[in-house]
A and B are shown apart, each in its own frame.
Chain A
């Protein structure tokens, strides 16, 4: 049970995908104009990530090592098309908002990264826990970023009016540059928080990514 919880919870803080691993940034920047859009994108990612981890883990003994990436992509792509069709059928306005970024989930590094780095080496239950945790962390992160941008850019939160009539909407926040500025500030805040925590424990502050490269597994720095 404790390992299950460990794998699930690492996606929520220590390996939080967009802010700690800095993965999956394309949708993070592009669709978080409002909290609802960020949330919807996150839910789609949870679905794809949990199921792709499940399937990859199920098939991990069957898939030959040489064609594993191709197999992972087929699995992820099929799931993404399923999500796209279901979203069109049951949440069309959300689909209109997210547009091209739904099919683009397939090239989201988190999906392939988790399949390669975790699901292909671990049993089914752990893989699903990992997928759900990472997906949930991603959803929370996107909803948080979306909330920030919506609050300052429109003065609303999930479509509800929050700021009073005196508030002059800061439209910059819902434009593309606002996404970069917001993400940068959040990353800076995360780093400051990590170093503050380390210092209070008497450890030396760190620079650069605090996670180990194994959690992504996609780039050249792995071994």
Chain B
């Protein structure tokens, strides 16, 4: 009986202590991990969209309230002026969610381009949405209508990857909707 009690006591104590330690470490590293994920996951996508911006969009990011929840917006500055903004949305892909960073011009009339942040699609098919051939169709495209050619738009889907292409376009349209909601607030948020 005593042995039994000791076993329970020791094991619970060790587990409790380990839980406490882990909670502390997690709390202490959380802000830094968030910063690192932004730099290494969102950072490269942002550089694809705004290759010549002069600030660090990840560092200057701000959060806004939209109808879908909080949205993080990344600004790109050039010569002290806001050149464009980008925000990340997710579309439904074949192998999981596809994360798309969508860049807008400051007035919101044209897309500055897209960058892929999260992608688990089939290599050789869905993965090809990262290729310039598909991606560059969005650079300078109007935000009024973004649709695949089979549904009456002018975006050519990656052949054999309809789901991935549709997911990407869906994510971009979500981003446009969010952008329209927060458009007025964006103008004044980074000076100019």
A: residues with CB less than 8 A from B are: 59, 62-64, 66-67, 70-71, 74-75, 77-78, 81-82, 85-86, 88-90, 92-93, 96
Contacts and interface: CB of A to CB of B under 8 A. Distances in A.
A59 B11 CA distance: 11
A66 B4 CA distance: 10
Interface in B1-40: 3, 6-7, 10-11, 14-15, 18, 21-22, 25-26, 29, 32-33, 36-37, 39-40
Interface of B: 3, 6-7, 10-11, 14-15, 18, 21-22, 25-26, 29, 32-33, 36-37, 39-40
Contacts of B6: 64
A86 B22 contact: no
Contacts of A71: 10-11, 14
B14 A59 contact: yes
Contact of B40 (A67, A82, A85, A92): A92
A64 B2 CA distance: 11
Q: Majority SS of interface residues in chain A?
A: helix
A63 B8 CA distance: 10
14 contacts: A63-B10, A64-B7, A71-B14, A77-B18, A82-B22, A82-B25, A86-B29, A88-B33, A89-B29, A89-B32, A89-B33, A90-B32, A92-B39, A93-B40
A65 to B, nearest CB: 9
Nearest to A91: B36
A62 B10 contact: yes
B18 A70 contact: no
A75 B18 contact: yes
Nearest to B31: A89
B18 A67 contact: no
Nearest to B24: A82
A81 B40 contact: no
Contacts of B22: 78, 81-82
Contacts of A88: 29, 33, 36-37
B25 A75 contact: no
